[in-house]
Structure 1
Amino acid sequence: MDRIGFLGVPDVGAEARQIFDEDVAEVGYVMSVSRLWAYQPATVTGLFALLRQVNTGDRLSLRQRSVLVTACASAFGDSYCSLVWGGRLAEASDARTAAGVLRGVDDGLSASERAMAAWARKVARDPNGTTAADVQELRDAGFDDAQIFTITVFVALRVAFSTVNDALGLRPDAPLRSTVPGAVRDAVTFGRPIDDAADEA
């Protein structure tokens, strides 16, 4: 492979190789996103450490994080994270629920999750358009102000991550075509198409 997105393939140092090894252990192949961030592996490691730090106090569950990323990534138009996290949400709930969240239909979610999804979409689409009433909807769903801050920072950092990947032409990994449930895959009608060929580890 001589390109990753719109860029040439970076040299792979020890830090990037460690990320690659973690990918292989977790999903069975080196993800394109890891290949891209091999330009600055310390930065992406720091970003995900920051995401973990943001979540330290309020401990958003994997299902809650899946709702937030699926909702914000689809609202933002990021096909890569929508497929990956839509797949994770399908595992935490079911494929129909995950596909619904990708389409902006939250029937399969709890009341608090619906509030989270709605807020994530607003933050991703138009952060200057949010209102005090929008925040009150989160409070009414059971979140305190510290939790609302956590949710908002988490979503904003995920949008920043997606912005880099999308702007530099990253396409979702080819294996996602077969590993993501069909209902989830069919719901992702936006962003860049799934890559044509599987990356080599």
Structure 2
Amino acid sequence: MAFIETFPVNQATGEARAMYERVQANLGYVPNYAKVFSLRPEVMGAWSGLLASIRGHMDTRRYELVTLAAAKALRSSYCMLAHGTILRRQFFGPEQLAAIAGGADSGLEPAEAAMMAFAERVAKDASSITASDVEGLRAHGFTDAEIFDIAATAAARCFFSKLLDALGAEPASLFGMPMPGASAWGRLRSTLTSHPTTFCERINGRSKRPPTITSPGCASSEPKPCSGAAA
């Protein structure tokens, strides 16, 4: 499920197998992003350590909102879907989250809207950020340590999202959301994947094989073709 050859879950040995087992134990299945790391499992270990050190200082809502903002700036449908799903399950209804993902501050505290705007700029063009932008976050009550956490979360997402995009990792599942349509869930899923270049469009332009999305659980599950902007 990538542009590169990876180790199948049922054939992996050594460090790759150990990595798969850790991910399986943590998530209940092996997502496609982990398969990309099977060629260099030590990098996954380093990434996991970095991520834990960053998010350990943030509550879940803040971390996920910052990550969503950075993923949106990076046009990462994979990360938008994954982290949008967490926000949907724990904090927001589908309509509200669709509005947030679309750029509105519906239901957000002013400080949350400010941190998301800052995170988006970190991901888009960190060199454009000035001292006044940081001062703006201070005005919303963020400490300098918290501002570091926000910037580190957004910067770390650049590594992960860009790596997955560069190697063609596909979303591991539909993340519990239906295909785009008239329902609130469908509109949310469409919003989370309706970037100027959608995942299916990018794959169709760069790969000869049909784009697919794998059902969660195992490498042997039958792939389902993606449709429109939803992949």
Aligned to 2:16: 16
Q: 1:189 aligns with which of 191, 194, 207?
A: 194
SS of residue matched to 1:109: coil
- Asked if the contact 2:171–2:213 (Cα under 8 Å) also holds between the matched residues in 1, the reply is no
CA contact 2:120–2:154 (8 Å) conserved in 1? no
Q: Measured at CA, do residues 196 and 103 of structure 1 come closer, stay the same or move farther in structure 2, by a change above 3 Å? A: same
Q: Equivalences for 1:1-201 in 2 at 5 Å?
A: 4-10=1-7, 12-56=12-56, 59-94=57-92, 95-176=94-175, 178=177, 181-187=185-191, 188-190=193-195, 191-193=198-200, 195-198=212-215, 200-201=218-219
**Structure having the higher Rg:** 2
> Which 5+ residue runs of structure 1 have no aligned equivalent?
none
| TM-fit CA distance, 1:25 | 4.1
Task: Say how many residue pairs are matched.
Answer: 196
RMSD across aligned C-alpha pairs, in angstroms? 2.3
Q: 2:203 is matched with which residue?
A: none
Kept in 1, the 8 Å contact 2:119–2:151? The answer is: yes
Return the alpha-carbon distance in structure 1 between the equivalents of residues 51 and 27 of structure 2: 20
Inter-partner Cα distance in structure 2 for 1:31 and 1:85: 14
- Any conservation in 2 of the 1:172–1:195 contact (CA below 8 Å)? no
**Contact 2:55/2:63 (<8 A) preserved:** no
Q: Secondary structure of 1:126's match?
A: helix
1:196, CA displacement in angstroms? Answer: 3.5
- What amino acid is aligned across from residue 122 of structure 2 in structure 1? V
Q: 1:97–1:30: structure 2 CA closer, same or farther, 3 Å change rule? A: same
Q: Deviations over 1:155-187 (max 9, x none)?
A: 101111111101111121234264794343111
Most deviating of 176-185 and 45-54? 176-185
SS of aligned partner of 1:196: strand
Q: Deviations over 1:37-96 (max 9, x none)?
A: 11111111211211222344xx21111111011111011100000000011111221123
Which one-letter code corresponds to 1:195 in the other structure?
T
TM-score under structure 1 normalisation? Answer: 0.86
TM score, norm. by length of structure 2: 0.76
Deviations along 1:93-126, whole A, 9 cap, x unmatched? 1123322232122222112211111111111111
Between the aligned partners of 1:142 and 1:195, the Cα distance in structure 2 is 44
CA contact (8 A) 2:174 2:213 kept: no
Structure 2 CA distance for partners of 1:144 and 1:196, relative to 1, 3 Å: closer
